[in-house]
Amino acid sequence: MDFLLTSALFVTTLLPLVYAYKKRNSPKNAKVALLINICSVFALVLLVMGLSFSNVAYAADTAAEAATGGSNLAFIAAGLAVGLSCIGGGIAVASSASSALGAISENPKVFGQALIMVVLAEGIAIYGMLIAVLILNKI
């Protein structure tokens, strides 16, 4: 069962890269590759959640193993908190950094203000990591 989940994770990682390599030189194809990556990761998360709730996968031999069902969801929640906040932070930094570079090229005196806006956008990823640490401390 672990081999199946490992191979599924490997495929969901490589699938958008193969698509982007075959259909390169177009911004639309990069967006499609990102969409494929997001959909495949969510499908893998749903697969893992379904397997963690089924009686077949991870059969509980003892009461101690049965108590780990909630920790599996906590690990998924922590991973989603970090992953989604990093995606949001990356999108925010991409738009604010390009605007900041344009503003700095016209007026170099706004460097400090532009740097603050870029750092605030990066803070989103740090907040996601903080939430993941708080979730993992509850286990």
Residues 83-98: tens digit of each pLDDT: 888 888 888 888 888 8
pLDDT at 116 over 50: yes
109 DSSP 8-state letter: G
Average of per-residue pLDDT across 94-106: 88
Residue-level pLDDT at 106 = 92
Residue-level pLDDT at 57 = 43
pLDDT at 65 over 60: no
81 contacts 128 by C-beta, under 8 angstroms: yes
pLDDT at 7 over 60: yes
The pLDDT-based confidence of 58 (bands split at 50, 70, 90) is: very low
What gap in Å lies between CA 19 and CA 2, rounded to an integer?
26
What gap in Å lies between CA 86 and CA 13, rounded to an integer?
17
Give the 3-state secondary structure of residue 23.
coil
Q: Are residues 72 and 139 in the same domain?
A: yes
Residue-level pLDDT at 53 = 63
pLDDT at 60 over 60: no
Domain boundary residue, one of 59, 80, 99:
59
Average of per-residue pLDDT across 31-48: 72
Q: Are residues 34 and 77 in the same domain?
A: no
Q: What does the pLDDT look like over 19-34, one tens digit per residue?
A: 666 766 666 666 776 7
Q: Are residues 41 and 102 in the same domain?
A: no
Q: Are residues 99 and 121 in the same domain?
A: yes
How many domains are there within the chain? 2
What gap in Å lies between CA 54 and CA 135, rounded to an integer?
23
78 contacts 96 by C-beta, under 8 angstroms: no
Distance, CA of 46 to chain centre: 14
Cα distances (angstroms) measured from residue 139 to each of 1, 75, 79, 94: 24, 9, 14, 35
Q: Are residues 5 and 54 in the same domain?
A: yes
39 DSSP 8-state letter: H
Domain extent for 114: 64-139
Structure tokens at 81: 């908190």
